[in-house]
Amino acid sequence: MAAEIHYQTIATLAARLAAGELSAVELMQAVIDRTRAVDDRVRAFNSRDEADALAQAAASDARRSAGEAMGPLDGIPVALKDVIAVEGQPLTASSRMLADFVSPYDATVVKKLRQAGAVLWGRLNLDEFAMGSSTENSAFGATHNPWDLSRVPGGSSGGSAAALAAGEAIATLGSDTGGSIRQPAAFCGVVGLKPSYGLVSRYGLIAFASSLDQVGPFTRTVEDAAMLLQVLAGHDPLDSTSFTAEIPDYRAAVCAGPRSRRLGIPKEYFGAGLDPEVAAAVRAAIAFYAAQGWEIQEVSLPHTEFCLDTYYIIATAEASSNLARYDGIRYGHRSQSAGDVTELYEKSRAEGFGAEVKRRIILGTYVLSSGYYDAYYRRAQQVRTLIRSDFLRAYEQVDALLTPTSPMPAFRHGEKADPLAMYLCDIYTIGVNLAGLPAISIPGGFTQAGLPIGLQLIGRPFREAELLATARNYEQAHDWHQRRPNL
Amino acid sequence: MPGADELDIDHVAALARLALTPEEKSNFSRQLGGVLQHIEQLRKVDVTGVEPTAHAFPVVNVWADDVARPGLTTAAALRNAPAQRQNLVVVPKVVE
């Protein structure tokens, strides 16, 4: 039986649209109907503009019937994490600070999606300013995991993962600073790719930690991730950290299969705190690759135990500096009860930011403050060098690393009330951001209770094609990615 | 590395321009005390002679061509301003 329209892949739908079996308006309407039916339970969206999406879909149909050149994503509904600017649409970062903000311009990735013909669909919930691992820290309420509504979808791009898993979009975009694409992808049973730092423009992405942030796709298959990455990747003069490199044909490379077959298993990623069912799924994946003739090697990333601390110094330091711009003056929330200008800053920020954002601004301000800079920030940057060297050394022996994405499957709302317990959810994903590497989470099984388990594959810098091919090798032999939640 | 108990929440909140309630001050002090205690373990790493990494792939001296290009209109730039008058953002008086 063919999947319902709202659960089909980009690859399938692009072919069906091209063959005239389906119109873009019919596709968009199917996605709207599905969203109306389930989003009061999932709560993935902060806002959506049905009329605007249907108008974009109608324009795609008009281009097709006029015989105009069609983009690779023409007529495909793609929803966006609410930190990516779309001109004329709300942009909230799930914060009271930006509750009424309207984007004055398009992010570069949005311009690229438009050029590719995609239908821009809705603004997805997140942890406020992308700070969190559960999408509970949203000023507009928590998102629910479609596989078990009492559980979190992960975070910070929880809305992006949940919307896709629930059939409320055909693909979505998220952003990943310490695991914010991969961990929710794992919790919701979808594919999530964090590209190499610099591969995808950050222009028009609300900044959290600028040396770590990267935009990336959520999709149902690895092939879809390749199709979406093709559109997103490439140099942008508006992002001075954007990388200038030849962009390969990702889909062709992925379909051709991996060129090398040496897989590393970092021993530090199987320590205390790893859920036994997650560990079993990863071990089964290792056995699968071995059976396929891959050379499996245990490798060591000796500074792994320091990743979390290094990350929480660097990320909060950069965040405290980036979020200084929200001062109630030019845009964003302004306190109505302030007297002088200093009080205006202090009260606007106090009223506009939620608890986790305040906590991280305080920590970041502290580690950068006079007398503490060398002890914390500079030292963290030095340890970052060592963490990065660990990965590069491992890549002398192997071509990709296989690990769990998250130490545990989706947890219940309210379960991780202590900030440190929440931060520990990211231990397997943050090293990748510190080292600037590409990594993907793919569906790798289910727990006895029916919760998705994610496998993480980490690749060499800017070798996304090889990474995706390695991931697809597993995906093609398993059907986890074809299962759908009961909603 | 300084001790975790040294976080002077009033001083740091003033630097961060955040008006915290007494309850937030006590919560954040306690919670961040725990995080700072965890961070103490970075002391164990020998970083002698290690260069700091600011970006994973350092790019230096990225220049843009000095060519005028269209920017936001005044109306677009002011669209999100909390208070405005005569194409200006209104703010509290900052000089006496």
Are the beta carbons of B31 and A418 separated by less than 8 Å?
yes
CA-to-CA dists, residue A245 to A198, A330, A418, B52, angstroms: 10, 37, 42, 25
> Is A156 an active-site residue?
yes
Q: Could A378 and B31 be called an inter-chain contact, meaning their C-beta atoms sit closer than 8 Å?
A: no
Instruction: State the pLDDT at residue B59.
Output: 78
Residue numbers in B near A309 (CB within 8 A): 38-39, 41-42
- Listed in sequence order, the residues at least 6 apart from A330 whose beta carbon sits closer than 8 Å to its beta carbon are B80, B81, B89
Look up A300 and say whether it is catalytic: no
Q: What pLDDT is attached to residue A163?
A: 98
Contact A104 B9 (CB under 8 A): no
Could you list the mean pLDDT of each consecutive 10-residue stretch along chain A, which spans 487 residues? Answer: 87 97 98 98 98 98 96 98 97 98 97 98 98 97 98 98 98 98 98 98 97 98 98 95 92 92 96 94 98 97 96 97 97 94 97 97 95 93 97 97 98 92 91 98 98 98 97 98 96
Q: Which residues contact A67 (CB under 8 A, 6 or more apart)?
A: none
Asked if A198 lies within 8 A of B59 by C-beta distance, the reply is yes
Which SS3 state, helix, strand or coil, does residue A45 take? strand
Q: What is the dihedral of CA B66, B67, B72, B75, to 10 degrees?
A: 110
CB atoms A197 and B45 under 8 Å: no
Residues 6+ apart with CB under 8 A from A357: A95, A128, A129, A131, A137, A323
- List the single residue in B7, B17, B83 with the smallest CB-CB distance to A346: B17
Gap between the Cα atoms of B22 and B2, Å rounded: 24
pLDDT reported for residue A422: 87
User: 73-102 in A: which are within 8 Å (CB) of B?
Assistant: 100-102
Indicate the domain borders of chain A: 5-266+396-482, 305-369
Dist CA A404 CA A441 (whole Å): 9
Q: How far is A310 from chain B (nearest CA, A)?
A: 8
Using the CB atoms, write b or e for A250-275: b if 16+ within 10 Å: bbebbeeebeebebbbbebbbeeebb
From A134, A157, A160, A180, the catalytic residue: A180
pLDDT score for B5:
56
**Interface test mutation site (partner A, options B5, B7, B18, max chain A beta carbons within 10 A):** B18
Distance from CA of A233 to the nearest CA of B (A): 16
- Within an 8 Å CB–CB cutoff, is residue B45 touching chain A? yes
**The pLDDT of residue A260:** 84
Looking at the partner chain, which of B79, B83, B89 has a beta carbon nearest the beta carbon of A104? B79
Residues 6 or more apart whose Cβ sits within 8 Å of residue A253: A226, A465, A466, A468, A469
Q: Using H for helix, E for strand and C for coil, what is the string for A404-429?
A: ECCCCCCCECCCCCCHHHHHHHHCCC
pLDDT band of B55, cuts 50, 70, 90: confident
CATH no., domain A5-266+396-482? 3.90.1300.10
Per-residue model confidence (pLDDT) at position A83? 98
Helices A108-115 and A222-232: crossing angle, nearest 10°? Answer: 110
Cβ atoms within 10 Å, residue A356:
18
Q: Which of A94, A138, A156, A201 is catalytic?
A: A156
Q: Quick one: pLDDT at residue B2? A: 52
Cβ pairs bridging A and B (under 8 Å): 173
A228's tokens: 């979406």
Q: Which residues of B touch A376 (CB under 8 A)?
A: 1, 39
Active site residue A337: no
Q: In the prediction, which pLDDT does B72 show?
A: 92
Quick check: B51 contacting A, CB < 8 Å? yes
Residue of B nearest to A98 (CA): B80
Please check whether residue A331 is in contact with residue A206, taking contact to mean a CB–CB distance below 8 angstroms.
no
Q: Of A241, A363, A378, which to mutate for an interface test with B (greatest number of B Cβ within 10 Å)?
A: A363
Report the phi/psi class of residue B88: left, alpha or beta, with left for phi > 0 and alpha for psi in -120 to 50: beta
- In this prediction, the answer to ipTM > 0.95 reads no
- Domains, chain B, ranges and CATH? 1-45 (1.10.20)
pLDDT for residue A1: 45
Bridge partners, residue A440, by sequence? A193, A457
Q: What is the pLDDT of residue A418?
A: 86
Quickly tell me which residue has 């597993």 as its tokens.
Answer: A474
B4 touches chain A (CB under 8 A): no
pLDDT for residue A419: 85
